[in-house]
Structure 1
Amino acid sequence: MVLQAIICLRARYLRQTPNDIPQEIVNNSLYYPYFKDCIGMIDETHVDAMLPINLVPCFQGRKGVTQNVLAACTPNKLFIYVLAGKYYLCDAGYPTILGFISPYRGVRYHLKEHSGKTSKNRKELLYLRHSSLRSKIESAFGTLKNRFKILCAKPHYPFPMQIDIVLACTVLHNFVVTMDPSDEQFNDDDFNEDIDGEVANENDNSLIDFTQNQTQREQTESRNKWKTLRDDIAWAMWVDYYDKYNHSVTTET
């Protein structure tokens, strides 16, 4: 009963952010004005699950038997959307489509590897800052799992209740952060999860966005439009970067 009561608070504590630019972006010259229209970050995490033997193959992955949790959070690490209890028969990478800007494909390095090093081109620079901003959701996942240890165990409850536990934990996470922004666990970077830094194929023209009622040609045009927007952001970022650090020389390698 308590679990269901907490989930009933989702509308109050898991809600879309206002249209105002997040302060975490406005107050950081690495992000503003390039990501001024960013309302949040999306990613997925895995939570250990216990399932009937006939369902195990559907939820079996490289991290064991888990429920795949898709979430979106704000730059201040508040969850605004959570979809738990699902599994996917597709690649985990996200294409650049309407409303989503992914980093350039084929640019590979860990966020911490280039600390203090100069980016060689606009793709690396965008990737670095994109990953830096997106790491907020990795940090939110890390804090969530550290605070609620039940998410790192295999709970012996019916699977629908396991899903509810994930949702309830995200509600409580937001409640704690809202009531106590100085919370020790929330501000401890040691709880961050690392970004994988996986490389995906640049050619995503074969990917179709089934959430949009469009023809394949219209989807391709929409995808190209958002890729152009990504290019514009990367170029503006690159020009400002070298105006500050290399006397306006914008040569790339």
Structure 2
Amino acid sequence: MNGLRDRYMKQAPNEVPAEIANNPNYFPYFKDCIGMIDGTHVDAVLPSNLAAHFRGRKGKYYLCDAGYTTMPGFISSYRGVRYHLKEHTGRTPKNRKELFNLRHSSLRLKIECTFGILKNRFKIISAKPNYPFPTQVDIVLACTVLHNFIAIEDPDDDILNKNVEIDEDNREVTNEDDSSVVDYTQTRTQRKDQDERNEWKELRDQIAWVMWVDYCAKYNGGNTMESGLA
């Protein structure tokens, strides 16, 4: 089954996905994003000697959920910032962080829905892994190959067209404490690790600010005053 993966699975290209390039809410802010990662759907136990293989490519990054920390190759949402906002009506964003999280979350929703469908079809993916790590990888790959084959050969498949309920987490984290999130940098020096994390957090801040300025120019008459920031 895994011998078919090159035919039915593709690595994220080193270019802007069409979903980002063609949407003014995402482009040019996420112009260096090459994909989305959600770390809550498929549990895995990762040996430390394989950690380097899971870091992002130089100059590009993945958007990831709050289960990850912002670090080289990965940009997560701001922690402790409310969700369930709308762009234009009702609970609209009050500051750059809320706007960033809103758009970050709407992009990641695509991968959440994809994994939701995958889990509905293959219940083994929802189970805690009791196999060696290479076997864990093979299981996910085999299920993904089958899923993609079905999507190509039978687009009217019931599971593919079933609405997937995403269980969003309503809890708010009160600070940027990274002690409970995934961190693949244990083998690096603490100083270098922290310096690189700070660089990527600064990049996130820059993206959020440019996004906020453009948003305010379009909807707030150019007034960039913010509220609710700690």
Report the TM-score, using the length of structure 2 for normalisation: 0.72
- Compared with structure 1, are the counterparts of its residues 153 and 224 closer, same or farther at alpha carbon in structure 2 (3 Å cutoff)? closer
1:14-53 matches, within 5 Å, as: 14-46=9-41
Provide the rounded CA distance (Å) in 2 between the counterparts of 1:44 and 1:130.
15
Instruction: Give a deviation string over 1:178-207, Cα, whole Å, max 9, x none.
Output: 56677665465x214233244343133898
Provide the rounded CA distance (Å) in 1 between the counterparts of 2:161 and 2:155.
8
- Compared with structure 1, are the counterparts of its residues 225 and 206 closer, same or farther at alpha carbon in structure 2 (3 Å cutoff)? farther
Matched, 1:196 2:169: yes
1:39-78 matches, within 5 Å, as: 39-46=34-41, 68-69=43-44
Provide the rounded CA distance (Å) in 2 between the counterparts of 1:30 and 1:38.
14
CA drift at 1:169: 1.3
Please tell me whether the aligned partners of residues 21 and 37 of structure 1 are also in contact (alpha carbons under 8 angstroms). Answer: yes
- Compared with structure 1, are the counterparts of its residues 236 and 176 closer, same or farther at alpha carbon in structure 2 (3 Å cutoff)? farther
Please tell me whether the aligned partners of residues 116 and 166 of structure 2 are also in contact (alpha carbons under 8 angstroms). Answer: yes
Unaligned runs of 5+ residues in structure 2 are: 46-53, 55-65
Please tell me whether the aligned partners of residues 69 and 182 of structure 2 are also in contact (alpha carbons under 8 angstroms). Answer: no
2:33 aligned counterpart, secondary structure: coil
Please tell me whether the aligned partners of residues 41 and 137 of structure 1 are also in contact (alpha carbons under 8 angstroms). Answer: yes
1:244 aligned counterpart, secondary structure: helix
Find the structure with the greater CA-based Rg.
1
Over the residues paired in the alignment, what is the CA RMSD in angstroms? 3.6
Please tell me whether the aligned partners of residues 144 and 170 of structure 1 are also in contact (alpha carbons under 8 angstroms). Answer: yes
CA drift at 1:106: 0.7
Please tell me whether the aligned partners of residues 213 and 224 of structure 2 are also in contact (alpha carbons under 8 angstroms). Answer: yes
Provide the rounded CA distance (Å) in 1 between the counterparts of 2:180 and 2:72.
15
Instruction: Give a deviation string over 1:10-62, Cα, whole Å, max 9, x none.
Output: 23333322222111111111111111111111123457xxxxxxxxxxxxxxx
1:41 aligned counterpart, secondary structure: strand
Unaligned runs of 5+ residues in structure 1 are: 1-5, 48-67, 71-80, 82-91
Question: What percentage of residue pairs aligned between the two structures are identical?
Answer: 61
Please tell me whether the aligned partners of residues 217 and 223 of structure 2 are also in contact (alpha carbons under 8 angstroms). Answer: yes
- Compared with structure 1, are the counterparts of its residues 208 and 185 closer, same or farther at alpha carbon in structure 2 (3 Å cutoff)? closer
1:44 aligned counterpart, secondary structure: coil
Please tell me whether the aligned partners of residues 107 and 199 of structure 1 are also in contact (alpha carbons under 8 angstroms). Answer: yes
- Compared with structure 1, are the counterparts of its residues 208 and 181 closer, same or farther at alpha carbon in structure 2 (3 Å cutoff)? closer
Please tell me whether the aligned partners of residues 94 and 226 of structure 2 are also in contact (alpha carbons under 8 angstroms). Answer: yes
Provide the rounded CA distance (Å) in 1 between the counterparts of 2:127 and 2:70.
34
1:244 to 218, 221, 229: 218
Provide the rounded CA distance (Å) in 2 between the counterparts of 1:222 and 1:149.
38
More displaced stretch, 208-217 vs 15-24:
208-217
- Compared with structure 1, are the counterparts of its residues 114 and 219 closer, same or farther at alpha carbon in structure 2 (3 Å cutoff)? farther
Indicate the residue corresponding to 1:60 in structure 2. none
Report the TM-score, using the length of structure 1 for normalisation: 0.67
Indicate the residue corresponding to 1:117 in structure 2. 91
1:235 to 197, 209, 213: 209
